[in-house]
Structure 1
Amino acid sequence: MGKTLIIAEKPSQAREYAKTLGVKGKREGYFENDEYIISWCIGHLFELKAPETYMDLPKVGKRWSIRRLPVLPRLGEFQYGLKSGTAKQFKVLQGLLRSPEVQQVICGTDADREGQLLFQEVWDAVGSKKPLFRLWISSLTQEAIREGMSKLRPVGEVEGLAQAGYGRSYGDWDFGMNLTEGFTALFGSFDPVRKKPNVISIGRVQTPTLALVVEREWAIENFVPVAYVEVEAEFASGQGSYKGKWFDPAIKSARDKSQETANEQMMLDLDRGKEIVAKVQGKPGRIRSVKDKETKEPHPLLFDLTSLTVSASRRYGFGAEKVLKIAQSLYEKKAITYPRTDCNYLPPDMLPKLKAHLQALQQSPFAEWVKEALNSPLPGGKRVINEITAHHAIIPTTEKAALNLSPDERKIWEMIVLRFLCIWFPPARYAEKEVVTVVEEESFLTKGKTLLEPGWKKIENTEKHTEGSGLQLPLLAQNEVVETRSCQALQKETKPPKRYTQGDLIKAMEGAGKEVEDETLRRQLKGKGLGTVATRGAIIENLLDRGYLLQQQKVLMPTAKGTELIRLIKERLPRAQLLISAEMTGQMEYELAQVERGEMPLSRYMEKVEEAIRGIIEELRHYEATQGKKPLAFAPQKPGAHGRKRESNSERKPRESQTQAKSAKVGQESLALAAEDNLGICPSCGGGVVEREKGYGCQNWKDGCPFILWKNPICGKVLTPAQVKSLLKKGKTNLIKGFRSKNGKSFAAYLVWEDPSSGKLKFEFENNDRAKPG
């Protein structure tokens, strides 16, 4: 009788399969017994080859240029190469798949689109025709593996998933390879400080994510604070004192309809605030109404990867990629269920199993809560049991967590445990009181909130997310007369939007569909948005590595390079604006879902991808013919950047990062522009001006030329290479927005020479008024 070959995603997964199925024989690259052979991939064994593979290089040349593009292989013509260090394991898999001893094959890689793809690449490369089945599980416990083996899926059920995996891979390659070369040919240059090309990397998900951060930064730069006044009074009743804030009863209800509009209407200027204070100061008041109601706050939803990342970012400052790496490690240690999920719910068939998950948590510090939960009924309601996607929410497994968890792993695991425990407890109950006090026909609102029954909050208190009990109020009665003890006008001003943390950006990527007008696309983007739960952290890491973003403490800021790229696309390249819109990503995600369901052939999806790329390349070709080349700013030098720990080969990154990096290396020679490709002519000696680490200086500095433009901030802005180039050529920069005056007000101006030979500058405004030197 022949054997069954199971192919896992990586060795650790294969070991769990072997342990569960009693396969103890260890061979070179696989486990074996009389019934099973269990082998593994190492993440993706293959990668798509660079664009030069498809080019007639003697004809088009080795140098990156628009004339070499587009490169769009047809389906069936994409060429693969083995990744470095994977040839040995592929040879093992190839031998096993062709072995007459193997009767049937089970795909046991991670149960998602990318897991299916990395298996499919091997399967198709070997060309095996053996019977094929799919193992689909959500945890690596022995119970889950055995249940999955008893319910193997026929390969036809995941054929669409494999096609969608290829579509994602090919589409991202087409976008990344063509547009990175196209943008770099026009807007890249040689970085003399780093002694390497300044590659302008473009990605289907990476570029719109960068746009989110850049546009947030623009909103902050252009924000004009609005001063306003809040009037607060303190009242004395027979039972005690309390405070209230002035409000306009005529527009209070607008808060429920439009918070923003109501807030604007509630804002008082200083004169009106002082008028109210003078009017009510020391006057008696009357309590117009006292409203009491009881409210309930249900437990939070179980974690998906996004909500876990946001919570871990806020609580511990962990980056998105770090959270995924820790969660994946916990999954492989059988401590949690599959983490790469976008679902917050559990399926109905899991209900009978949930108490087994609880029993595994009978350890400090959870023992008392687990004991109470075990005596409670099974959790129900749509906040727990609901429609799921490919995988259910992240919960602890039925196995006791290993004792060898690292400190960071234990932090994430305990967050998941506490969130799981919350679903066994009733809602938190509050007594809410709303009091309206009237003085001289002016109304003041007071709100109080008292926690009556903590319910699940006694668990959540451990997570440090509770808001506490709220304001305690004295016993007050309707029509009671009170004394206005004091009243004051508090001067405040509106605040600009906050910069993104990694957790905030992950959430914004997931909800990018809010800005899409098409309702069908909005539904498709819900829970998906830009990228997938598995790739969003790596996308942010790519933006940091490629010099588009900087992280300062917990917040993300765009660099000059990132800002100039998005401004260029928004202002000069209308067709390329697809690259910074959630709509484009949503449309591609929607169509990939159609491919997965068998509603659209992969060929049609690729036709749409190719049409978009051809349009953008044609636009770049026109730009080159009419505008020429325009180098963007260099990425900033980051201390210790070269020491950043890279992912192992077994950790899956977006395809656009893997293949673009290799293609960029292939094209190094084509981008190594000569150092004499400088920014312009030195106004002091006529030499060439080049960018250095701390400023823009003359190449003849060794011969005594004093010209230098330092990279010191001028009213908050640092000169970019493009601005220096304009200054050297025209005597003035383009209009620069986002300068900040001493009082914090934003303004726009040109920079012009005051003394060109010494590099001194001054402002010029659009009405030609001259200002102080910059």
Structure 2
Amino acid sequence: MSYQLVVSEKPSVGAAYAKVLGATNRQDGYWEGNGYLVSWCIGHLVELAPPNVYDAKYVKWSIADLPILPEKWQYLVSASTQKQFGILQKLMHRPDVESIVNSCDSGREGELIFRLVYQQAGCKKPFSRLWLSSMEESAIREGFANLKPSTEYDALYQAALCRERADWMVGINASRLFSCLYGQPLAVGRVMTPVLAMTVVREAAIAAFVPEKFYTVALTLADGSTASSKRFTQKADAELLLSKCRKEEHVTVQKMERKEKAESPPQPYDLTALQRDANRLLGFTAQQTLDYAQSLYEKRLITYPRTDSRFLTEDMAASLPGLVMDMGRVFAVEEPFPIHVQQVINGSKVTDHHALLPTKSMANADLAALPAGERNVLRLIAARLLCAVGEPYCYAETTLTTICAGEKFTAKGKVALSEGWKTVERKMLGELLGKQKEQAVLPDVQEQSQCSVAGAELKEGQTSPPKHFTEDLLLHAMETASADSMPEGVERQGIGTPATRAATIEKLVQKGFLERKGNKKTKVLLPTDKGKALITVMPEEIQSADMTADWEAKLLQIERSEMEPETFMTEIKEMISSLVTTTEARKGASALMKNKIIGVCPNCGANVVEREKGWFCESNPCRFVLWKDNAFFKRLGKRLDSHAADKLLRDGRVRLKDCKSAKGKTYNATVLLSCEADGRSKFSLEFEGGC
């Protein structure tokens, strides 16, 4: 009997495929049955080799050895996934396996994950591609019935290879170059550094902002509406007008203008738009939203989440009304609502995957059993679909211009004519949207008529600085980066892809370049001193969003076979070579780049400085270190933070509340710090009245 080997990206997805295909016999690392073997990768099984594999001298970081630009790229199986790689290699070489199906995620990274395993395993057997936008059984069956030739995705693989290798070359060379120039470990990345630069530039603009006061005179008209004067920079000018207005009993209506306007329904979500709304309305980070969406996808409740399209294809038009009706029923949107399918259909704007949708399976799922985060994300996606096929929100905007004491006063009013899609939005997301501002309704008055004045007062205001970046705003800045400097008609400006933006933000936080500050729902992302210092010393081409966005556009061209991969790689190599040969340490920057001293080493008396993974003694032979990911503190259910590290260095002890014992009991205790003979830290506990 011959078999077809199906390789998915994750065990959970593999299990779903196996169930549909009838491969029900569970083996070690794969499923078997009905002519199929179904196995899986665990993320990136095969990764680019580190520099020291090319040459042992690269273990030491030295500017003299740069640039490191491999001629022949080498790959390694990552240590943690050796076993699963061995299983896949064995399955690929089984004589009864005739062909293979690449069933990894339907995107650039999924293509890369499979092909690297296939090549590293030395496999030569024919393989085809499963390309899905939904994990529903019907979609899986249809996908396997219509497998695509692997050659259709060769260009996608080339783009993925170029992305991976370009990131490696920029990361390895720039990180080593700047770490050697400034005498401390500095992480530099192709996407990460321009994103950090955006936050540093924004904070500099906020810090440099000088608010300017302005003054207006506000008239209260007899019907209760308010008309305002122009802004005055000098208070005396506004006060003079106020005194004149207080002598007037009437204003003359100079102009009454009424314009009817319409706000079109929003488009369905792509991943970035979903992440932005989930951050703004729910306070979720981009990574949390992606994790919730991925889980919903694997539970067959939504379609493929890592999409950059906000439209659907023509073949989906017929099934859409049924799906919309199902959603309305699930979320109790009872009243009949119009369904305008055509406004969300445009196949020419769908590349790899269509917009994010709830699936038909969702209508029969037990949503109450979902974790709250997943349920909220699902509600957003369903609400967006119902809004997207709705009618425009129509309103009338009225502007009333009056004259008082020779000056113009303006009042604006707005009245809804037809709520359209906003009815559904309010019904489904009302509590998340918060209190909506009451719209002022202006009286219907004739031009040149008189209105009596009920009161006049002086109002003081000031100009506002730019806003700090929230995750919502930073995602938008990443998506639209360099849009102004790109030629007309170029698609997908911006840096990173929908699939990678969340990971970039998380990496910046994890490496200590950005921090989240604020209350539970509204957190802002601020560059740390370390982040600001890094950008201060970075040359323009490394921190420029323009260059990175240009690279993203070129990767997209490679994906579409419009550019040769070699051309792109040559450009990257030239940029790195030029960076290495022309970059010098900035004068005065070493003071900026100093590590933060937090105390004195209890072993040798030298300074203890904070770095990414802990607090280290600066003296070379001394081995004293307090690791942030500290095993002793972990066992107590605690994490060693800067406050505790400070107390340990200053007093040799720190009191901890609510430590957890192995049996789950809580107790208070004091951790005592001492040193081994070679300087390594040693901890002991002093209990308060026993555990």
Partner AA of 1:393 in structure 2: A
**Which whole-Å CA distance do the structure 1 matches of 2:233 and 2:340 have between them?**
52
The equivalent position to 1:241 in structure 2, one of 203, 219, 224, is 224
Counterpart of 2:543 in structure 1 is: 580
Matched with 2:408 is: 443
Task: Report the residue type matching 1:153 in the other structure.
Answer: K
The equivalent position to 2:341 in structure 1, one of 364, 379, 391, is 379
Q: Distance in 2 between matches of 1:584 and 1:267?
A: 43
Quote how far apart the aligned CAs of 1:598 are: 2.1
2:254 maps to which residue? 288
Look up the match of 2:466: 497
Kept in 2: contact 1:513–1:525 (CA 8 A)? no
| SS of aligned partner of 1:47 | strand
Paired residues for 1:404-443 under 5 Å: 404-443=369-408
Shift of 1:367: 5.2
User: How do 1:380-529 residues align onto structure 2 when only pairs under 5 Å count?
Assistant: 380-381=342-343, 387-400=349-362, 401-403=365-367, 404-461=369-426, 462-464=428-430, 465=433, 467=436, 470-514=439-483, 516-519=484-487, 523-526=490-493, 529=494
Distance in 2 of aligned mates of 1:608 and 1:476: 67
Map Cα deviations across residues 138-195 of structure 1 (whole Å, 9 max, x no partner).
Answer: 1101121122223322111100000111111111000101111111112243xxxxxx
Rounded Cα–Cα distance in structure 2 between residues aligned with 1:173 and 1:635: 29
* TM-aligned CA deviation for residue 200 of structure 1: 0.7
> Which residues in structure 2 correspond to 1:167-186 (within 5 Å)?
167-186=162-181
Give the Å deviation of 1:377: 4.4
Q: Distance in 2 between matches of 1:19 and 1:443?
A: 73
Task: Pick the aligned partner of 1:602 from 540, 551, 565.
Answer: 565
Instruction: Call closer, same or farther: CA 1:377–1:205 in 2, change over 3 Å.
Output: closer
Structure 2 CA distance for partners of 1:349 and 1:534, relative to 1, 3 Å: same
Aligned in 2, Cα 1:234/1:383: closer, same or farther, shift over 3 Å? farther
C-alpha change, 1:186 and 1:124, in structure 2 (3 Å) is same
Aligned amino acid, residue 207 of structure 2: E
1: distance between equivalents of 2:588 and 2:524? 36
1:500 positional shift:
0.6
Paired residues of 1:427 and 1:456 also in contact (CA < 8 A): yes
Checking the alignment, whether the CA contact within 8 Å between 1:282 and 1:483 is kept in structure 2 is no
TM alignment of 1:541-580, pairs within 5 A: 541-553=506-518, 554-569=523-538, 576-580=539-543
Does 465-474 or 537-546 show the bigger shift? 465-474
* Distance change (3 Å), C-alpha of 1:308 and 1:634: farther
Matched, 1:139 2:139: no
What's 1:192 paired with? none
Q: CA deviation at 1:383?
A: 7.6
Cα distance change on mapping 1:311 and 1:597 into 2, 3 Å: same
d(CA) in 2 for partners of 1:633 and 1:504? Answer: 31
The correspondence for 1:208, drawn from 191, 194, 208, is: 194
Structure 2 CA distance for aligned equivalents of residues 291 and 380 of structure 1: 34
Q: Report what 2:620 is aligned to.
A: 674
Greater RCO (CA < 8 Å, at least 6 residues apart): 1
Cα distance in 1 for residues equivalent to 2:588 and 2:329: 68
User: Any residues of structure 2 matched to 1:88-237 within 5 Å, and which?
Assistant: 88-189=83-184, 199-236=185-222
What's the offset of the Cα at 1:386?
6.1
The residue type paired with residue 37 of structure 2 is: I
Instruction: Note if contact 2:268-2:344 (Cα within 8 Å) is conserved in structure 1.
Output: no
Q: Counterpart of 1:305?
A: 271
* 1:69 counterpart (63, 66, 74): 66
Shift of the 439–115 alpha-carbon distance from structure 1 to 2, 3 Å rule, reads same
Q: SS at the partner of 1:137?
A: coil
Residue 52 of structure 2 aligns with which residue? 52
Unmatched runs of 5 consecutive residues or more in structure 2? 599-611, 623-640, 652-691
Number of aligned positions between the proteins: 604
Query: Secondary structure at 1:225's aligned position in 2?
Result: coil
1:467-523 deviation per Cα after TM superposition (whole angstroms, max 9, x unaligned): 455112233222221123322231211111111111211111111123x52425x83
Say which SS state the counterpart of residue 185 (structure 1) adopts.
helix
Tell me the residue number matched to 2:302. Answer: 336
Does the aligned pair in 1 maintain the 2:287–2:503 contact within 8 Å? yes
Is residue 357–residue 399 contact of structure 1 (8 Å, CA) maintained in 2?
A: no
Whole-Å separation in 2 of the counterparts to 1:453 and 1:391: 33
1:724 paired residue number: none
Counterpart residue identity of residue 44, structure 1 = H
2:244 counterpart SS class: helix
Judging changes above 3 Å, is the alpha-carbon distance between structure 1 residues 202 and 594 closer, same or farther for their aligned structure 2 residues? same
Contact kept, 8 Å, 2:358 with 2:381, in 1: the verdict is yes
State the TM-score, normalizing by the size of structure 2: 0.82
Structure 1 residue 292 displacement after superposition: 2.3
Mapped to 1, the partners of 2:448 and 2:325 lie a distance apart of 56
The worse-fitting range, judged by mean Cα deviation, of 442-451 and 284-293 is 284-293
Gaps of 5+ in 1: 190-198, 248-265, 570-575, 638-663, 677-691, 703-774
Cα distance change of structure 1 residues 97 and 630 upon mapping to structure 2, 3 Å threshold: farther
Are 2:593 and 1:632 equivalent residues in the alignment? yes
* Compared CA separation, residues 634 and 302, structure 1 to 2 (3 A): farther
Distance 1:634 1:559 in 2: 13
Residues 511 and 285 (structure 1 numbering): CA distance in 2 closer, same or farther, change over 3 Å?
same
Q: What's 2:244 paired with?
A: 279
- Distance (whole Å) between structure 2 residues aligned to residue 31 and residue 125 of structure 1: 22
1:727-753 deviation line (CA, Å, top 9, x unaligned): xxxxxxxxxxxxxxxxxxxxxxxxxxx
SS where residue 343 of structure 2 aligns?
Answer: coil
Q: Secondary structure at the match of 1:523?
A: coil
Q: Which residue of 1 aligns with 2:292?
A: 326
**Are the counterparts in 1 of residues 541 and 547 from structure 2 also a CA contact under 8 Å?**
yes
Partners of 2:262 and 2:537 lie apart in 1 by 50
Question: Structure 1's 138 and 383: CA in aligned 2 closer, same or farther, altered over 3 A?
Answer: closer
Conserved 8 A contact 1:509-1:530: yes
- SS of match in other structure, 1:399: helix
Which secondary structure does the structure 1 equivalent of 2:70 belong to? coil
Shift, 1:25, TM fit: 2.1
TM superposition score normalised by structure 1: 0.73
Partners of 1:537 and 1:673 lie apart in 2 by 38
Distance 2:21 2:316 in 1: 23
Q: Measure the CA separation in 1 of the matches of 2:56 and 2:130.
A: 44
RMSD between superposed Cα atoms in Å: 2.9
Match of 2:685 in 1: none
Choose from 312, 318, 325 the match for 1:352.
318
Q: Is the counterpart of residue 79 in structure 1 residue 74 in structure 2?
A: yes
Shift of 1:269: 2.7
Q: 1: CA distance between counterparts of 2:186 and 2:463?
A: 37
CA contact (8 A) 1:305 1:340 kept: yes
Moved more, 324-333 or 31-40: 31-40
Query: Does structure 1 retain, via aligned residues, the 8 Å contact 2:344–2:389?
Result: no
2:626 alignment counterpart: none
Matched with 2:575 is 612
Change (3 A) 1:354 1:628: closer
How many angstroms apart in 2 are the aligned matches of 1:383 and 1:443? 47
Q: 1:523/1:598 Cα in 2 relative to 1: closer, same or farther (>3 Å)?
A: closer
Deviates more, 1:336-345 or 1:483-492: 483-492
